Amino acid sequence: MSKLLRIKPMSMLTEEAAEQGEHTLKRSLGAVNLVTLGIGAVIGAGIFTLTGQAAALRAGPAVALSFVVAGLTCAFAGLCYAEFASIIPIAGSAYTYGYATLGELVAWIIGWDLTLEYAFGASTVASGWAGYFNSLLQQFHIYLPPQITATPGTPLVFYHDQWLQLMSLPPGVSDAGLPHATGVVNLIAVAIVMVITAILVIGIKESANFNSAVVIIKVTIVCIFLVIGGWFLFKHPEIAKMNWHPFVPPPDGKGNFGWGGIPKAAASIFFAYIGFDAVSTAAQEAKNPKRDMPIGILGSLVVCTILYILVSLVLTGLVSYKTLNVSAPVALAIDATGVGWGSLLVKIGAVFGLATVMLVMLLGQTRVFYSMSKDGLLPKWASAVHPKFRTPWITTIVFGSFAAIMPAFFNIEVLSELVNIGTLLAFTIVSAGVWVLRVRHPHMERPFKTPFVPLVPILGILSAVYLMTRLMLFTWEVMIVWLVIGLLIYFGYSQKHSKVQQLPEPQAVQGD
């Protein structure tokens, strides 16, 4: 059992962080790049899709309080992430932090879990991006063959000058007499994932600059929505009063709405917060990680939580929460203001916004696999760095291809919840790891120190585990199956090739 809990020595981590040369990742990211990297992942699917669904199905207008709950959970974990990132400035995120504190088996479990979190998350976002992009094209009367815009077997109808999924027709509208088509493959989703993959292969600096430019565009559009919607509600307070009442809808008997619906909605929207975890995966590419990583992690978290709360309030104020279970809730809400160009603007923002979410998810995925391969837990090809671009190009292409295939052929409705449980599990591991490291190495130099230890780590663990219990049972079943597959790989390959397992036992166990 002691072999399974061997810890990666801090001296080994420090040596890796100091590595330079053409076979290492290039340090080219500053604090601004890191903050926008986090915002790029967080301001996307959450604002443009999940907020409306959480309001309509789980919490009503009180979804704003759900973002407060989710934000607090993230704050506890974020403080722990910031301490780890300043001490261990190498790629790998929660995987690396777990390896340094809780042992190899725990590190493998969280690394394998992050694989599910990022890869399937990118696939889900690709499907959402394809829907927004196709809708935007149709608004300009550009029509792609409907068969290549949806997954196999999806029924489509032509209504009001655009192809829609049959289930998206307004209530009471019959499809009789409307042109019909059936989806064959979602080639739009495939195309965008391959474009993002190419950008990531070319180089991290180019990826970060692309992301920073897009973040400015989409945050501006979100702010325009807040100004237009907020001004409309200021001039028509009776509409806000009607839509916000009751602010906490009565329970529906299924665990939704009421005060119990608030944490359930918080668990369902956690997908939105995957971005600031992804910031820490880029630690080995930060110019000054000891200073910039805490700024990147906490800065992106604060900005995004404030924006989410404001958007959810304006969204549920403009229209009844009952109508928000649609793919483009923000566009629906801004239409209620009578600002004709608002819907077009929101779709443009969604197209840019979801693209950067995919970029950061695939970035995080490849950096976790890079770190696991460097440790010997995965084959060497997973950590091969391109001599010119200095990126883990093989891993990027492999997972980019996988992420492209999934949304092309499969409708995966529970993916966001699968990503939620992965994110929450990562937060639990990181929070526990900070506490353990404080006990084992109390005098270690910490450029950033998590305040109020062990209170903050304990609150991080309890809040994350509580939100995990609010997720669907099916989510837990899939996670368990995925972890069983991962453990088979670990005991069949990883343990035999682990570099830490080859170290003298006292060094590996003590971590000194």
- Give percent above pLDDT 90 in the chain: 23
Pick 431 or 43 by higher pLDDT.
431
For residue 212, which of 382, 31, 367 has the smallest C-alpha distance? 31
Residue 509 has what pLDDT? Answer: 47
Q: What is the DSSP string of 307-353?
A: HHHHHHHHHHHHS-GGG--SS-HHHHHHHTTT-TTHHHHHHHHHHHH
Query: HSE on the CB side for 190, CA within 13 Å?
Result: 13
The answer to whether 471 and 420 are in contact (CB under 8 A) is yes
**Among the residues of 282-323, which ranges form H helices?**
289-318
From residue 369, how far is each of 10, 199, 365, 508 by CA, in Å? 20, 18, 6, 21
Strand partners, 162: 159
Cα–Cα distance for residue pair 7/129, rounded to 1 Å: 41
Residue 281 has what pLDDT? Answer: 65
Instruction: Please tell me whether the peptide bond between 407 and the residue prior to it is cis, using omega within 30 degrees of 0.
Output: no
Cα–Cα distance for residue pair 154/183, rounded to 1 Å: 5
Tokens of 481: 């199956």
Tokens of 218: 């989409």
Rounded (10°) angle between helices 204-235 and 289-318: 30
181: helix, coil or strand?
A: strand
Of 54-63, 120-129, 406-415, the range with the highest mean pLDDT is 54-63
Strands 162-165 and 155-159: antiparallel
pTM of this structure: 0.76
Domains and CATH numbers, the chain: 10-151+186-498 (1.20.1740.10)
Cα–Cα distance for residue pair 245/232, rounded to 1 Å: 18
Q: What does the pLDDT look like over 30-73, one tens digit per residue?
A: 777 777 777 766 777 677 777 888 898 899 999 999 999 988 88
pLDDT at 351 > cutoff 90: no
> Predicted confidence band at 399 (pLDDT cuts at 50, 70, 90)?
confident
From residue 126, how far is each of 100, 201, 501 by CA, in Å? 34, 18, 39
Residue 298 has what pLDDT? Answer: 81
From residue 416, how far is each of 233, 268, 274, 275, 442 by CA, in Å? 31, 8, 11, 14, 38
Mean pLDDT of the chain: 82
